[in-house]
Amino acid sequence: MANDIEVEDYLPFEINYFPKHILKRKAQDTAFTAEQKKNSVLQLKQLLQGHASSKDVVFEEDFLNAYLIQCKYNDRRAFTKLKNYLILRKNHSYFYRNVKFDLGSHPSCRFATFLPRRLSDGSVIVLLEPGYWEPEELPFETAKQIFYLIYQQELRNPVTQESGFYIIHDVANAGFRHFKYCTPYNAYLLNHVAFLSYFPSHTIETLKDILTDRKVSIQTAQGPVSWSQQQGCAQGSCTGPMFWNLVANEIISEEWQPNVHLQAFADDFIFVISEHTGAKLKATAQAALTKFQHWTDKHQLKVSTEKSTTILISRLVSGPRVKWDNQIIKRSTSLKYLGVIIDNKLNWADHLINTKTKLTHLHQKITRVAGTNWGLNKDLRRRLYKTVAERMILHGAAAWAYPLSARQSRLLNSIQRKFLLNIIGAYSTTPTAALQVIEGVLPLHIKAEQEAVYVRTARLRKTSNYNNINFNPNNYEDGTTSTKFHPAIFQLEDRISLKKQFLPVHGLNSNSNSYFRIQYTLNYLAL
């Protein structure tokens, strides 16, 4: 690092003069004639007027000149930067609102600070220390807003405008509760905020190659046939989920009415809408679907009305009908979402009956494997029950098993009984309670409630009650989800380093290289 940055010659942070390199750059800018500068401004205005997102926006000429100077009067590059700025203003307007508290009084705001001196070229050194940020105290949206405000405040300085920033990322004391926010989308967004180059050029060229001039070919009896492909990703594409997240995040981030909730998992979307009357429910639901349809039309997405279902949880006999593209969406008494069947009475009877049917078929298959002489080892039968059957039964227990009714408990015990008989090899007349004691397993209804309380307390961070015992999430450590990677490429000695090191990361600064300061962290985080 000492070869790249001169550590001996620093400039004061508060500076009221231009260093020599900036004066030299300004002298180079004068190489453009007044006619060339005027033509660049006119061409930039034409580009802005010809684009849908900027044609109705009035830009001051000095504002356009600032972008042209930065882009060396390349009107195309300046237009791209301005277009990104407008997208930022539209999709993330909260960046431009005032923070409702004193930044100096909030400890979590110390995650982004400026060092007291500038580099010899006049650039500002930004120190990012995510370990100071507490996600539970300061929401991520507010942290992004503060990040924006800090940069914008310093960008008022003419020297900073010319010299840019150096960024030092000090991830000491930062854990996975911080790194889980290090998604491609957030990196893309925050580097837009700082007006930096967020991807190296070779990455941009790779993505352009993936998304342009795509064709699909098949072999027919008459020869190969191909056609242009405008949508979708290749099956198994590594970038496919990332691209989809960028598209889906647009509709997820929309502002909905307080009684409208949109949830998504991959490409499965579900609306939860509540109102006091049937008429209001129909109007609110139809408005939400219309807004959702505008998003699908914009991205040329198709929604299958045959697979779409509505469910009414109410005492109303005939609920409202909602339409999608002038087609009435069919109504049902239950629907399946992420493996859990939700019924209109919320007693989860349909889900448990369906689970019992699946587990009965599974038990029959295990019995055929074991045979009449119990050839399958008892430990293997127990392991099959614990790792397959029990996990299938407890799927989504946080939703349907808190609390359990007497009917649900009996149903769960009847499911468990078949597997215990298979494991122990006891007579079919043996009581279920005796089977549970002999095998030393918890009754399934207790296990389900245990699972539900654990998920609600440890993951959802909600207060739960079991057997008259209150479980407050504040009394327990917040578990973090570790980053997962393929076992075939994981070599522990290559992933962990206990040394302080500086890793050059090109492309994070428009004028110079930036550096990640990695301390007691994993190398795979420096992607």
**Could you report the per-residue pLDDT of 307-356, keeping only the tens digit for each?**
888 998 887 777 788 888 888 888 888 888 888 999 888 888 899 999 99
Q: Where are the domains of the chain?
A: 9-211, 254-262+269-332, 349-475
For residues 161 and 25, the answer to whether their CB atoms sit within 8 Å is no
The dihedral sign for the CA sequence 336, 342, 343, 347: positive
Query: What pLDDT shows up at residue 13?
Result: 80
Tens of pLDDT, residues 102-113: 666 667 777 778
DSSP string for residues in 294-327: HHHHHTT----TTT--B---SS-SS----EETTE
As a whole number of angstroms, the distance between CA 44 and CA 37 comes to 11
Tens of pLDDT, residues 416-430: 888 888 888 888 888
Question: What CATH fold (topology level) applies to the domain 9-211?
Answer: Phosphatidylinositol Transfer Protein Sec14p (3.40.525)
Higher-pLDDT residue of 389 and 203 is: 389
Query: What pLDDT shows up at residue 9?
Result: 66
Among 64-73, 187-196, 517-526, top mean pLDDT goes to: 64-73
Report residue 58's pLDDT band, with 50, 70 and 90 as the boundaries: confident
Tens of pLDDT, residues 80-120: 878 877 777 777 776 666 666 666 666 777 777 888 888 87
Query: What pLDDT shows up at residue 102?
Result: 64
As a whole number of angstroms, the distance between CA 446 and CA 409 comes to 8
Q: Which among 517, 518, 523 has a CA at the least distance from the CA of 489? A: 523
For residues 517 and 170, the answer to whether their CB atoms sit within 8 Å is yes
Per-residue pLDDT, averaged over 219-243, amounts to 74
Least confident of 37-51, 175-189, 232-246, 379-393: 175-189
Higher-pLDDT residue of 456 and 163 is: 456
Higher-pLDDT residue of 419 and 192 is: 419
Report residue 292's pLDDT band, with 50, 70 and 90 as the boundaries: very high
Higher-pLDDT residue of 326 and 22 is: 326
Q: Which among 301, 322, 300, 297 has a CA at the least distance from the CA of 310? A: 322
Adjacent-strand bridge partners of 451: none
Question: pTM of the full predicted structure?
Answer: 0.52
Query: What pLDDT shows up at residue 272?
Result: 92
Q: Residues with Cβ < 8 Å from 169, sequence gap 6 or more?
A: 128, 130, 515, 516, 517, 518
Average pLDDT, the chain: 75
| E-assigned strand segments in 319-439 | 323-324, 327-328, 334-337, 340-343
